[in-house]
Structures are given as structure tokens and as C-alpha cells.
């Protein structure tokens, strides 16, 4: 049995959760999210507590039990508090600039990289070498951060590139001089 799936989810006062024809809806001060519930699980809402129950006792039912509980918990946290990813750009002349629904990245290439921001995510640049990615959908925020990081991952010799705030980049020794 899934140990994650067994734990009940506390629903904050400002969040409304409802189930409708196989979909679960979460609505809070930050926005609305919905998700199609796997057929092998069901949810029970008792006041301010939500429990995920398994209908099938097989491998996929066990996997979906923990998945559904984690996803619903992320939805509830997203619509009440939201998610934030902080990113840093390291390198001389490397910078980012937000213009309308795009992020312009200057990363030492011959051309600027233009990344269009998807719906439901906001990107801010408090400094030219910092990015703040915010949204209510944890998966979408993480995906946007990963896509931006993929343009120039931190390299191991000087550490130049785009990295998550607090990410440790292992440095390699340079070429040995005889």
C-alpha cells in the first residue's frame, strides 16, 4: 500500500475542492486548477480533510494512489500559496529581460534567445542576472524553469550558464600546465 497515498490532505479554509465526473477541481485565491482522476482511485472529502482511496489493489492502483494524493496536494498548495522557482544567470554579459509574454536571453550566442512564456506562469527579472518564475501549477513552473535552464546549462570549468538558485555546480580542474 502506498504510504504517501494513505496520508490525508488538509484543505485550507480559503480553498474549495469538488469532484465532478471523474475530474477534481481546486479553487483558491490564486486561481483554479483541475485534473482528471485516475480510474483506479476515488476521493472522499470530509469537511476540511480529503482522503484518496484505492479501488484496485494491483500495481497500477498502488502507483496511482500515491500519484493522485501528491498531485491533489500540489493543486491545493498551488491555488492557495502558489509556486516560485528562482534562477541565476552566471557569466560576463549574460542577462535576461522580460518583454510582454516573452523572455529575451542574451547568453553569449550570436543572437538573443526569445522564450515565450506559457499561460498560467509569470516571469520577472528583479536583476538582469536573476529570474523569478511563479505560477499555481507546480509542474508547469518546473517545466518552464527546466526549459530556460536547457538553453545554457552550467558548465563545469567556470560555472557559466543558467542555474537554479542555490544549485551547486561541481567544478573540474582545468588543463594541467607542464
Dump pLDDT digits (tens) for 130-176. 999 999 999 999 999 999 999 999 999 999 999 999 999 999 998 88
Question: Is 60 exceeded by the pLDDT of residue 1?
Answer: no
Between CA 104 and CA 47 the distance in angstroms is 46
Query: Which pLDDT score is estimated for 5?
Result: 85
User: C-alpha cell of 82?
Assistant: 502558489
**b vs e for 1-25, b when ≥16 Cβ sit within 10 Å of the residue's Cβ?**
ebeebeeebebeeebebeeeeeebe
Which range (30-34, 54-58, 164-168) has the least confidence?
A: 54-58
Please work out, in degrees rounded to the nearest 5, the angle formed at the alpha carbon of residue 95 by the alpha carbons of 91 and 97.
Answer: 170
pLDDT, average across residues 92-105: 94
118 pLDDT band (50/70/90 cuts)? very high
Q: What percent of the chain has pLDDT over 90?
A: 81
Amino acid at each position: 500500500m502506498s504510504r504517501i497515498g494513505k496520508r490525508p490532505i488538509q484543505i485550507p479554509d480559503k480553498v474549495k475542492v469538488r469532484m465532478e465526473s471523474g475530474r477534481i477541481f481546486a479553487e483558491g485565491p490564486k486561481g483554479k486548477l483541475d485534473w482528471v482522476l485516475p480510474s483506479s482511485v476515488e476521493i472522499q472529502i470530509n469537511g476540511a480533510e480529503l482522503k484518496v482511496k484505492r479501488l484496485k489493489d494491483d500495481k497500477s492502483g498502488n502507483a496511482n494512489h500515491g500519484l493522485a494524493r501528491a498531485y491533489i496536494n500540489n493543486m491545493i498548495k498551488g491555488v492557495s500559496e502558489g509556486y516560485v522557482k528562482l534562477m541565476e544567470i552566471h557569466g560576463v554579459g549574460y542577462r535576461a529581460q522580460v518583454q510582454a509574454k516573452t523572455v529575451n536571453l542574451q547568453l553569449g550566442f550570436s543572437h538573443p534567445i526569445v522564450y515565450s512564456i506559457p499561460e498560467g506562469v509569470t516571469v520577472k527579472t528583479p536583476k538582469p542576472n536573476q529570474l523569478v518564475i511563479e505560477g499555481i501549477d507546480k509542474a508547469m513552473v518546473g517545466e518552464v524553469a527546466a526549459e530556460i535552464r536547457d538553453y545554457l546549462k552550467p558548465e563545469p570549468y567556470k560555472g557559466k550558464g543558467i542555474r537554479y538558485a542555490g544549485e551547486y555546480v561541481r567544478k573540474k580542474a582545468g588543463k594541467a600546465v607542464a
